[in-house]
Structure 1
Amino acid sequence: MRLDGARVLVAGATGVLGGALTAELAGRGARPALAGRDPARLARAAEAHPGAPTAVFDAYDPASCARAVHDAAAALGGLDAVVTAFGTVAFGRAAEVGDEVAEHLSAVNALAPAAFLRAALTVMGPGSVIAAFTGVVAEHPQAGMADYSASKAALSAWLRAVRREARGSGIRVLEARPGHLETGFADRPVAGTAPPLPPGGDPRRVVAALADAMEADAELLRTAPDGTPVVERRAR
Structure 2
Amino acid sequence: MADLSGSVVLVVGATGGLGSLLSQQLEAAGAIVLRSGRTMATLAADLRDDSAAATLIEAAAAVHGRLDGLVIAAGVVAFGPASEVSDATLRELFDVNTLAPVRLVRAATPHLAAAAQSGGAPFVVTLSGVVAESPTAGLAAYSASKAALAAFTQAASRELRRASIRIIDARPGHTETALSTHPLEGTAPAFSAGLAPEAVAARIVRAIIDGEKDLPSGAFSGAS
TM-score exceeds 0.5 = yes
Q: Distance in 2 between matches of 1:175 and 1:228?
A: 18
Partner of 1:122: 110
Give the SS at the match of 1:224. Answer: helix
Amino acid paired to 1:19: S
Amino acid paired to 1:60: R
1:227 deviation in Å? 3.4
Q: 1:198 aligns with which of 185, 188, 192?
A: 192
Count residues in correspondence: 216
Give the SS at the match of 1:73. Answer: helix
Partner of 1:4: 5
Q: Distance in 2 between matches of 1:219 and 1:77?
A: 26
Within-5 A mapping of 1:12-51: 12-38=13-39, 42-43=40-41
Q: Distance in 1 between matches of 2:221 and 2:135?
A: 18
**Native 8 Å contact 1:120 1:130 kept in 2:** no
Work out whether 1:179 is the aligned partner of 2:173.
Answer: yes
1:185 deviation in Å? 0.9
**Native 8 Å contact 2:123 2:167 kept in 1:** yes
Partner of 2:135: 141
Higher fraction of strand: 1
Partner of 1:86: 74
* Stretch deviating more after TM superposition (29-38 or 61-70): 61-70
Partner of 1:71: 59
1:225 deviation in Å? 9.0
Identity percentage of aligned residues: 42
Q: Deviations over 1:124-172 (max 9, x none)?
A: 1222101111100011000111000000001111101101111111110
RMSD: 1.4
Within-5 A mapping of 1:48-67: 54-67=42-55
For structure 1, which runs of at least 5 residues remain unmatched after alignment? 44-53, 230-236
Give the SS at the match of 2:24. Answer: helix
Amino acid paired to 2:192: P
Give the SS at the match of 2:76. Answer: coil
Q: 1:131 aligns with which of 125, 130, 145?
A: 125
Taking structure 1 as the reference length, the TM-score comes to 0.88
Q: 2:150 aligns with which of 152, 156, 174?
A: 156
Higher fraction of helix: 2
1:99 deviation in Å? 2.0
Change (3 A) 1:225 1:84: closer
Q: Distance in 1 between matches of 2:220 and 2:96?
A: 29
Q: Distance in 2 between matches of 1:114 and 1:65?
A: 9
Q: Work out which structure has the larger RCO, using CA pairs closer than 8 Å and 6 or more positions apart in sequence.
A: 2
Partner of 2:90: 102
